[in-house]
Amino acid sequence: MQSAPLHCDTVVIGGGLAGIVAALELLSAGKRVTLLDRDSEENFGGLAKESFGGIMVVGTDEQRRAGIRDTPELALQDWLAFGEFNPTDRESWPRRWAEAYVNSSAGEIYRWLKARGISFLPLPLWVERGDTTRGNSVPRWHVVWGTGQGLMLQLIVCLHSHPRRDLLTLRFGTRVDGLIEESRRIVGCHGRSEATNLPFEVRADAVLVATGGINGSMERVRRHWHADWRTPPQTILNGAHKFADGTLHDAVQAVGGNLTHLDRMWNYAAGVHHWRPRKPGHGLSLVPPRSALWLNWRGERIGPKPLVTGFDTRDLVTRICAEERQYSWQLLNRRIALKELAISGAEFNPSIRNGSRLGLLRDLLFGNHWLLKEMTTNCADLVVAASLPELVDKMNALQGDDGVNLSAVSEAAAHYDRQIERGEPYDDDQLRRIALVRQWKGDRLRTCKFQKILEPKAGPLMAIREFIISRKSLGGIQTDLDSRVLDASGAAIPGLYAAGEAAGFGGGGMNGLRGLEGTFLGGCVFSARRAAAAIIK
Ligand SMILES: Cc1cc2nc3c(=O)[nH]c(=O)nc-3n(C[C@H](O)[C@H](O)[C@H](O)COP(=O)(O)OP(=O)(O)OC[C@H]3O[C@@H](n4cnc5c(N)ncnc54)[C@H](O)[C@@H]3O)c2cc1C
């Protein structure tokens, strides 16, 4: 039996970063808010709670103290180049969102978060510097002390301790299936309880869709696979939300909302199977060591230009997907692993997550022994051996055939090591890039100084098999700068708003083809605040 409909001013669908930020703003304006989430209360906070917590902001105190001169103009140039925006395009919603983001990130995102008790690591990191296309000209990736977990726990505290907390109704385990339309206006939503399967309805003046992207559905990821990446790989790991299945994208489309750029995704190249999976195909995204050699399934170094992380994540995915088998290997040794191996997210960065400055310093100075032990003990995609022949045998055993060729692996490692022995200036592009990134102190601490692969004292040797891992939807529900959902003619649908990853972080794809990194969490805060401001108005 259906319970009586709930009534409120705004119903927020989705309790991730976007939904929570919007709820906070709406409460502050005295609105009665109902927030619905399909997940259980322990997962309140969505993907951001699992995230690394890196946020792209322009013109911060941390940048100034580190001597970084950054401006919205510079950031916009980087953004438009990296996203491959059409230079003549001044009017599209993604373009306008990009411009609005860089112009207001310092106030609307950074200071807003700081005012709610969130702080950042002292040194911004320099990610996505760009390769054949220009990327971040300066470091802008501000990591939250406490990672994404700290970010979300703090915002949830703000929500529960809000002076108008009594205006908020929270409902977990409630799956929204569709929107209610009356007289060409969206007036609510309906769905079912996950536990009882009983139907429910919520009626409101405004409905905000903040249900995340589509990248948790491998069927949708495959359906919208970008043409640049050939056919979808046989194995795609899931690094997105288990409920990011596009149900609300369909619901928005059913009432006339426009979906755009769904083939634009921010997937990663270095996924491994999670050893404590919480969803089918659960993957972890490695921060691939720069000093490791990136090999194809035969054990040949991928080239002629070697793959190195930190410049263009999308290109890494494109290059691996162009291989006959669309997965890869990284060849390294213990010394490289200790200094450079990392996994994106809160779960495997306990020092930052727990706000332990001492722990972070220890990991940087002496190597991350905890993570290496965790991986060598549990990670099914990592093999360790004392010699190259033994390592190749183990790689082939894992691969299930004799595809990895010992002489190809030996040749790749010996050639690379010979280049290091010869010294600078380097011919090898990977070594040139290592030299470049080591010029920035934030990277120097985490990058070996030209480490040979076969150096006996740096062993044992290791190889990691890496799959493409699905992560963020760059496209989504098209919105204007008030986060109002637009129909195919460009008109706003009365009563309907979308924010966060559901809206491609703003405008149905504000990043364009590539994201400068950190624009995802930042985009959730920004688009949610825009939605709340418009609803309040
Ligand atoms: C490991 C990891 C590391 C990351 N690191 C970073 C980083 O450093 N920087 C960065 O910018 N980004 C990062 N991201 C991406 C970022 O976390 C997400 O893009 C962002 O948190 C999305 O927030 P959201 O609120 O839009 O959606 P979500 O967090 O996906 O929340 C959506 C909510 O809606 C609910 N929901 C879904 N469908 C329904 C339905 N039908 N009915 C009711 N509820 C529903 C879900 O249960 C969920 O709680 C990372 C992601 C991961 C997984």
Sign of the torsion formed by the C-alpha atoms of 370, 376, 381 and 385: positive
Sign of the torsion formed by the C-alpha atoms of 66, 520, 44 and 363: negative
Number of other CB atoms surrounding residue 126 within 10 Å: 22
Residue 2 pLDDT > 70: no
Q: Tens digit of pLDDT for each residue in 92-107?
A: 999 999 999 999 999 9
The residue whose CB lies within 8 Å of the most ligand 1 atoms, and thus the one to mutate among 21, 241, 313, 344, is 241
Regarding the beta carbon of 38 and ligand 1, being less than 6 Å apart is answered: yes
Regarding the beta carbon of 248 and ligand 1, being less than 6 Å apart is answered: yes
Ligand 1 centre and the CA of 260: distance in Å? Answer: 19
Q: Beta strand 382-385 with 461-473: parallel, antiparallel or unpaired? A: antiparallel
Ligand 1 centre and the CA of 17: distance in Å? Answer: 7
Residue 18 pLDDT > 90: yes
State the DSSP H helix or E strand holding residue 373, giving kind and residue range, or none if neither: helix 369-378
Q: Tens digit of pLDDT for each residue in 427-486?
A: 999 999 999 999 999 999 999 999 999 999 999 999 999 999 999 999 999 999 999 999
Ligand 1 centre and the CA of 214: distance in Å? Answer: 10
Protein residue closest via CA to atom 37 of ligand 1 = 211
Looking from the CA of residue 247, the nearest atom of ligand 1 is 41
Put simply, whether the predicted model's pTM sits higher than 0.95 gets the answer yes
Q: Tens digit of pLDDT for each residue in 375-434?
A: 999 999 999 999 999 999 999 999 999 999 999 999 999 999 999 999 989 999 999 999
Regarding the beta carbon of 53 and ligand 1, being less than 6 Å apart is answered: yes
Kindly give the residue spans of alpha helices, DSSP state H, lying in 400-537.
Answer: 406-422, 429-437, 441-444, 519-536
Regarding the beta carbon of 39 and ligand 1, being less than 6 Å apart is answered: yes
Ligand 1 centre and the CA of 15: distance in Å? Answer: 9
State the DSSP H helix or E strand holding residue 266, giving kind and residue range, or none if neither: strand 265-273
